[in-house]
Amino acid sequence: MLIWSILISFAVGIIMVPIIRKFAFRINAVDTPRERHKHTKTTATLGGLAIFISFSVGMLLVPIDKSGFVPIYFGALIIIATGFIDDIFDLSPKWKMVGQILAALCVTVWGEITINFINIPFYGELDFGYFAIPLSIVWIVAIVNALNLIDGLDGLAGGISIIALMTIAGMALLLKDAFVAPVALILAASVAAFLIYNFPPASIFMGDTGALFLGYMIAVLSLMGFKNVTFISLLVPLIILGVPLSDTFFAIVRRLKERMPISSADRSHIHHRLMALGFTEKQTVLLIYCMALLFSITGFVFSFSTTWGALLLLLLLIFCIEIIVEFIGLIGEDYRPILNLLQKIHRKRK
């Protein structure tokens, strides 16, 4: 029955996207080309609404215990409403944040899904106590905004979401989690149906309706699948979401370095920098897919490593990220400490 739920979600998504596209044009939920945009024609948004509808149908049909899903779904409704209003009226960042926090409260307070403690290597158990709810809210809001920020090219956020969801589902299956795995698979099928229309050149965008919803669901599923575990395991979802999270982190560093507001927009995200190096839009999207896939594979290996092996792998991953950041100029074209050091060593050897 799970297979049928996945297939029906995919089929409903295929049917719903063109309907939502017409609806978006009717209510003027469209994105017109502007200076910072790559698309050259007015394109419908609200694609996330089609993802949400097809996902809801799949969840209705899947034969699993859904009693714990009610708070999550209610939070999703808040997120969808926030994104829907923003796609039509362009909400201020403050009100978007309010919607995200309200959704996170549904999960953490009503659903009681929180990170209560972690076991730190060489230290022992660290109980978060009263900080469990605030930390879990920060977790959800951070991932929601990370995915939203990377939604800058056709098919980019959708493809990264599918890779993250499939990885979370795979991990959940190994951990014999009877809830997270089917939910992640149904959502991945819904996104895959949308991606058919969204891959470059896109005929519809997911909009904030989709980006906020996907970020929210990925955050909640990762929280459910990896809560109350070791510090090493807690890093797994961060590694799986390495592309959007690292892009967000370095965007903050970049803006602080240039003394700009953290919420300000720029054209120095990872996809902008890759295109500045000469890659086409499709090549850039596929290249970032490969990065996301490598992060996901690393997350799998990381979760089954010993403590020392995981720490060594983490250091290697950080080093590789730093090299990529310097090479593509993610913080700034003048920021190249390691590459400059390697060049000096190479010159001395000559």
Assign 124 to helix, strand or coil: strand
- Residue 263, pLDDT score: 67
The annotation places the binding site for Mg(2+) at 148, 208
Provide CB contacts within 8 A for 162, sequence distance 6+: 188, 191, 192, 195
Please give the average pLDDT of every successive group of 10 residues along the chain, which has 350 residues. 94 97 93 65 92 97 91 97 93 93 97 83 75 93 89 88 92 87 96 95 93 95 71 72 84 80 74 85 90 88 78 87 87 84 77
Q: Does the reported pTM lie above 0.75?
A: yes
What is the maximal distance between C-alpha atoms in the chain?
Answer: 67
- Residue 345, pLDDT score: 82
Of 184, 213, 20, 221, which Cα lies nearest the Cα of 99? 213
- Residue 227, pLDDT score: 59
Residue-by-residue DSSP string for 211-259: HHHHHHHHHHHHHHHHSSSBHHHHHHHHHHTHHHHHHHHHHHHHHHHTT
- Residue 228, pLDDT score: 47
CB 1 within 8 A of CB 61: yes
CB 292 within 8 A of CB 160: yes
Domain residue limits, the chain: 1-349
The annotation places the binding site at 148, 208
- Residue 239, pLDDT score: 84
Residue 44: beta bridge partners?
30, 204
The token duo for 18 is 């063109």
- Residue 9, pLDDT score: 97
Q: How many CA atoms lie within 13 A of 164 on its CB side?
A: 31
- Residue 35, pLDDT score: 57
Q: How far apart are the first and last CA of the chain?
A: 65
